[in-house]
């Protein structure tokens, strides 16, 4: 039996370092197995660091640089107008002064900022699906939201055993209700839908476990669950 307590399962948000939290509660062995099957040789930690660097604002962002560039435009325009209205400088010289102020500002502020903006978007689009798939795979390992001290093979086996017990119980209840002479249609549908839900949860969790290179045979799970139910009924 997996010990209760410890780290409680919760919804993880990638934008709030949720992947950092997952990497702390998933055993290193499972993380390594997942990476070998799903991340093309890249470690999830490295992918997550790239993603965070691309999404977290460090220093001035693209819009900050844009504001400075716009400010430089107005400074150049004011200088151009002053030279034309209040000095004897020729118009073409005043116009040249405008571009002398504005053009370097745009080259300095806009191009590096735009390049970083594009590169950050490319990083986000490359990393986000990988991290999202990992997050969803971990969540699928624990559809019952059982509290645990960490995700490892023992805990996953416990979850699958629990799901198998619930499915067998749901099947028995559905069969009992369906065979009852006075059964109401809504009750039969209710227990039938309950069985379907239990079956889908078991299938999804087995599929998620396979992403971590863990293979569980349904026959073995049902056999263990059946023995548990028999012992429970004998008490």
Query: In Å, how far from its chain's centre is CA 217?
Result: 28
Q: What's residue 76's pLDDT?
A: 64
Q: Report how far residue 106's alpha carbon sits from residue 30's, in angstroms, rounded to the nearest whole number.
A: 49
State whether 122 and 161 are in the same domain.
no
Q: What's residue 32's pLDDT?
A: 94
Q: What's residue 83's pLDDT?
A: 63
DSSP letter at 15 equals G
The reply to whether 78 falls in a domain is yes
The reply to whether 142 falls in a domain is no
Give the pLDDT band (50/70/90) at residue 14.
very low
Residue with the larger pLDDT of the pair 105 and 223: 223
State whether 165 and 233 are in the same domain.
yes
16-20, 44-48, 149-153, 154-158: segment of lowest average pLDDT: 16-20
Burial 167-178 (b: 16+ CB within 10 A, else e): bbbbbebbeebe
- Select from 111, 126, 141 the last residue of a domain: 126
Give the pLDDT band (50/70/90) at residue 1.
very low
Q: What's residue 15's pLDDT?
A: 44
Give the pLDDT band (50/70/90) at residue 120.
confident
Q: What's residue 86's pLDDT?
A: 63
11-15, 16-20, 65-69, 167-171: segment of lowest average pLDDT: 11-15
The reply to whether 131 falls in a domain is no
Residue with the larger pLDDT of the pair 15 and 233: 233
The reply to whether 43 falls in a domain is no
For 150-182, write each residue's pLDDT tens digit. 899 999 999 999 999 999 999 999 998 888 878
State whether 110 and 184 are in the same domain.
no
State whether 231 and 176 are in the same domain.
yes
Total domains in the chain come to: 2
State whether 111 and 167 are in the same domain.
no
State whether 117 and 176 are in the same domain.
no
Q: What's residue 130's pLDDT?
A: 92
DSSP letter at 144 equals T
State whether 172 and 220 are in the same domain.
yes
Q: Which residues form the domain of 116?
A: 58-126
> Could you give phi then psi for residue 126, rounded to 5 degrees?
-80, -40
The reply to whether 132 falls in a domain is no
The reply to whether 5 falls in a domain is no
Q: Mean pLDDT of all residues in the chain?
A: 80
Mean pLDDT on 107-120: 65
Q: What's residue 17's pLDDT?
A: 47
Mean pLDDT on 179-205: 90
The reply to whether 198 falls in a domain is yes
The reply to whether 1 falls in a domain is no
């Amino acid at each position: 039996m997996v010990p209760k307590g410890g780290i409680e399962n919760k919804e993880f948000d990638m934008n709030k370092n949720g992947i950092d939290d997952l990497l702390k509660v998933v055993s290193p062995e499972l993380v390594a197995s997942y990476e070998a099957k799903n991340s093309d040789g890249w470690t999830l930690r490295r992918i997550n660091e790239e993603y965070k660097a691309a999404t977290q604002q460090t220093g001035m962002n693209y819009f900050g640089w844009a504001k400075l560039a716009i400010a430089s435009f107005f400074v150049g325009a004011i200088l151009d107008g002053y030279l034309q209205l209040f000095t004897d400088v020729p118009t073409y010289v005043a116009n040249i002064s405008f571009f002398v102020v504005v053009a370097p500002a745009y080259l300095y502020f806009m191009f590096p900022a735009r390049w970083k903006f594009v590169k950050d978007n490319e990083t986000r689009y490359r990393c986000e699906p990988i991290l999202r798939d990992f997050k969803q795979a971990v969540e699928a390992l624990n559809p019952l939201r059982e509290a645990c001290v960490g995700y490892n093979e023992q805990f996953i086996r416990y979850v699958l055993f629990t799901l198998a017990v619930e499915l067998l119980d749901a099947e028995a209840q559905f069969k009992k209700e369906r065979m009852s002479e006075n059964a109401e249609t809504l009750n039969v549908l209710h227990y039938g839908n309950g069985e379907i839900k239990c079956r889908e949860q078991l299938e999804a969790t087995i599929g998620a476990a396979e992403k971590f290179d863990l293979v569980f045979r349904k026959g073995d799970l049902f056999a263990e669950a059946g023995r548990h139910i028999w012992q429970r009924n004998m008490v």
